[in-house]
Structure 1
């Protein structure tokens, strides 16, 4: 201290400089994992990692750039979190299937992003290790074909409403933001299949189900900045939660949680009046002792039921509505495809009510949806945490790193698809390597609701294409630009406007009615 005084340096300056040096060294130390493992990639910036490049080019464009520069395996940092992007399908088979026990958890080192209000931490998508295995085993029977069949009436009713609303729009306006219609359809479908409640989102704008669904995902600048800081400095996550910063709006989550709790109580009182919806299927797997030290309990607790329903509602409507928006765009920009799809529907089922069995006959509809999801997967990235350091095909994946599957880039890789940027449903007539198509993930952790989502989109398209057709407008883009701010989702930079036209000879035909539903 005497030396500092002799040099004329106040102690407070020395202490401050020492703290800054320690922070700098700590920041540099956190960014050595990928370098030490021999994983190539762009140089990260202290604390920010590669966030600057990601924000400049967007995650999708930066993947394409790095794939060309560094090859099929390269690393990046999101803040201090080490990502390893893998385009090699043989390595991905090890990660997603063969070595699944080492890559069980989603984004293991990204728990700073798991800023979820109670009880969403108990949802299947966020569950880890033994808890995930237990939940998955209990819930898998909920989405079998036999169970989904019982939800068809809800889906058909919502799809009929969608078709009527689009037909009405066709007579009143020259341009429509089609996603608004598909959001309403998805909300109506999930309200029915999850809660057994019938709503009409197109007509009931102030319905609490509609209002809360549309505010589930916070979009404020403050919330985005806070989540960014939680990535850079994971230790502040508890403080941010105390301040009410979440990845889902807590008030909206609380609304659906309270609805689920009231329905659970009501159905317990009337056990003989069961409905075949998602909530009821989970109630049938309920046990109040689950989650209280019984790691292998075979039933769900009430809190776990509410968590699954809340996530099912929130995640389901956004993914389905965005995918249908892309499908409408494809139909408008590929009139030949639209004509072939309409002909396939008419020839295979005509005016029959869509059922689980007859929609399987429409092979071209299956190919059309698969091709749309190839070009526009609603989730452009899949991430798995590395539990223990492992070497695969000469690459070292260190413990604590996150292996990222760049779904969109794999779907558009010329190594796996001829003319990958072209829309061609007929390519699905040939056998395609399963791991090259990943819109729902792959392996044991594949999306549990894949079957239901595919059926929902098929029924929606069948009803819609019986009544209307989509056409492009002068300002309809030839190539869709993606929104770089739609973190974790693939969404257009701007919602798509299209012209909706009535199908001649169909407008006056009475649509097939569905079985009436009790609300």
Structure 2
């Protein structure tokens, strides 16, 4: 009988440089660094980064089984206690994304009823209206950057659903302030050492000004809505529902807590969906055969009418296109946790207190589960294909008890918007490749331009 000798032995990983380890590689191309580490060293890898005395170690877990262990089956042992989540918490508040323990359980109890399928399906009309407005200025032969366009569309859609009629001012503030705060969070979250936030450095002052402006507009809308004591758009905007949320023995959210939830929904609700939509369009533009199949399904199912929530199940190929786009370009390409106790993963011991990384970017390309992993093939997501893979071979929405509460909303918005866009236009890729990097979410570092071809109207 063979004996597993890996338990308790040193976790393998890249050597890096004597002075900085893999710090420069992570800063220049973190996603490529993780992918190369898996290819060279396997599914459990230790990466060191930083100078002596400030050196950090990350234990990277790349198998579906390991991701399931970290996010689901042993999730209580892997907490959001690392430096990165603290920076997000300090910048965007203690909402569902960052809260823990009783705070998280209470927030989830209050918010969960607002994200049932029936409730979310009620937002289809708002998504369709914002999509129609967003593409209303497009025309035959125009070149559009689908990354910029989908970011604008997704932000307007989530702002309308959150605030009802209070959209335009909010969109301008978010568009201006979010990139400043996100860059600040990333720089501090992955730096070996940081100045205190209250020191008047240029970076601290820029971030503080952006946070003041963002917090200010959210606080004003929350205060006005609470003072009015009435709903926004038809009584169904999400802020009104959040303000009215109650559970047994719980009086609901105060003004600060409402602001924190709004900030999380703005952050998670627009950048993630925008990424999925943009890369779905970019990939279809590069693959005419798959684009033709998507057009055929839209024409056959919708016949020129606007899509509704009930159409999601009737558009399976569009759903597969989006899932494949999320496989290749997951909006959350890296997910971090911190181990509470020493744990065995994949035959290796991950020590207590270790920073642990799972990466949809890498696991979604695992050659054991994804043949020819860089090829765009929506038919990987037929029911038969999905049934033959491990549950966590694909996890763009995270997993376990901290899985994204808005995943049905994201799919609803994405399918409706994609269907409406494909009903009107065909796409030719201008930029064959779109480089990306990881911030709080995945983001392109170059344009994703497509040339539009208007389709005949019925």
TM value normalised by structure 2: 0.87
Corresponding residue number in structure 2 for 1:412: 365
- SS of alignment partner, residue 392 of structure 2: helix
Matches within 5 A, 1:341-420: 341-420=294-373
Among candidates 161, 170, 178, match of residue 217 of structure 1: 178
Among candidates 404, 409, 422, match of residue 452 of structure 1: 409
Larger radius of gyration: 1
After TM superposition, give the deviation of residue 470 of structure 1 in Å.
0.7
Check conservation: 2:130, 2:157, Cα contact below 8 A: yes
Among candidates 266, 283, 288, match of residue 335 of structure 1: 288
Check conservation: 1:109, 1:385, Cα contact below 8 A: no
State the alpha-carbon separation in 2 of the partners of residues 70 and 83 from structure 1: 14
Check conservation: 1:124, 1:136, Cα contact below 8 A: yes
Residue 113 (str. 1) matches residue 87 (str. 2):
yes
After TM superposition, give the deviation of residue 85 of structure 1 in Å.
0.6
Among candidates 464, 470, 482, match of residue 436 of structure 2: 482
Corresponding residue number in structure 2 for 1:59: 30
State the alpha-carbon separation in 1 of the partners of residues 18 and 86 from structure 2: 18
Matches within 5 A, 1:484-499: 486-499=438-451
- The size of the alignment, in residue pairs, is 442
Corresponding residue number in structure 2 for 1:512: none
Which segment drifts farther, 451-460 or 47-56? 47-56
Among candidates 193, 199, 203, match of residue 233 of structure 1: 193
Matches within 5 A, 1:39-438: 39-43=11-15, 50-56=22-28, 58-77=29-48, 79=50, 80-103=55-78, 105-111=79-85, 113-114=87-88, 116-117=90-91, 120-166=92-138, 168=139, 170=140, 173=142, 175-197=143-165, 199=167, 207-219=168-180, 223=184, 227=188, 231-233=191-193, 236=196, 239=199, 243-244=204-205, 246=207, 249-268=210-229, 270=230, 275-285=235-245, 297=250, 299-429=252-382, 430=385, 431=387, 432-438=389-395
State the alpha-carbon separation in 2 of the partners of residues 141 and 81 from structure 1: 40
Q: Deviations over 1:21-51 (max 9, x none)?
A: xxxxxxxxxxxxxxx9832223467895532
Check conservation: 2:276, 2:326, Cα contact below 8 A: yes
After TM superposition, give the deviation of residue 231 of structure 1 in Å.
3.2
Cα distance change, pair 47–235 in 1 and its aligned pair in 2 (3 A) = farther
Which segment drifts farther, 374-383 or 213-222? 213-222
State the alpha-carbon separation in 2 of the partners of residues 385 and 451 from structure 1: 28
State the alpha-carbon separation in 2 of the partners of residues 298 and 221 from structure 1: 32
Check conservation: 1:267, 1:273, Cα contact below 8 A: no
Check conservation: 2:182, 2:440, Cα contact below 8 A: no
Cα distance change, pair 123–248 in 1 and its aligned pair in 2 (3 A) = farther
Unaligned residue ranges in structure 2 (runs of 5+):
1-7
Check conservation: 2:276, 2:322, Cα contact below 8 A: no
Cα distance change, pair 424–239 in 1 and its aligned pair in 2 (3 A) = same
State the alpha-carbon separation in 1 of the partners of residues 404 and 186 from structure 2: 29
Corresponding residue number in structure 2 for 1:11: none
State the alpha-carbon separation in 1 of the partners of residues 435 and 214 from structure 2: 31
After TM superposition, give the deviation of residue 153 of structure 1 in Å.
1.9
After TM superposition, give the deviation of residue 493 of structure 1 in Å.
2.5
After TM superposition, give the deviation of residue 438 of structure 1 in Å.
1.2
- SS of alignment partner, residue 176 of structure 1: strand
Cα distance change, pair 235–134 in 1 and its aligned pair in 2 (3 A) = farther
Unaligned residue ranges in structure 1 (runs of 5+):
1-35, 200-206, 291-295, 510-519
Check conservation: 1:83, 1:403, Cα contact below 8 A: yes
When the two chains are superposed, the root-mean-square deviation of aligned CA atoms in Å is 3.1
Check conservation: 1:49, 1:77, Cα contact below 8 A: yes
After TM superposition, give the deviation of residue 389 of structure 1 in Å.
2.1
After TM superposition, give the deviation of residue 259 of structure 1 in Å.
3.7
State the alpha-carbon separation in 2 of the partners of residues 351 and 243 from structure 1: 51
Corresponding residue number in structure 2 for 1:29: none
Q: Deviations over 1:38-93 (max 9, x none)?
A: 3222346789553212124x111111221122211111245444321111222222
State the alpha-carbon separation in 1 of the partners of residues 268 and 176 from structure 2: 12
Check conservation: 2:22, 2:49, Cα contact below 8 A: yes
Check conservation: 1:138, 1:298, Cα contact below 8 A: no
State the alpha-carbon separation in 2 of the partners of residues 130 and 399 from structure 1: 22
Check conservation: 1:413, 1:420, Cα contact below 8 A: yes
TM value normalised by structure 1: 0.77
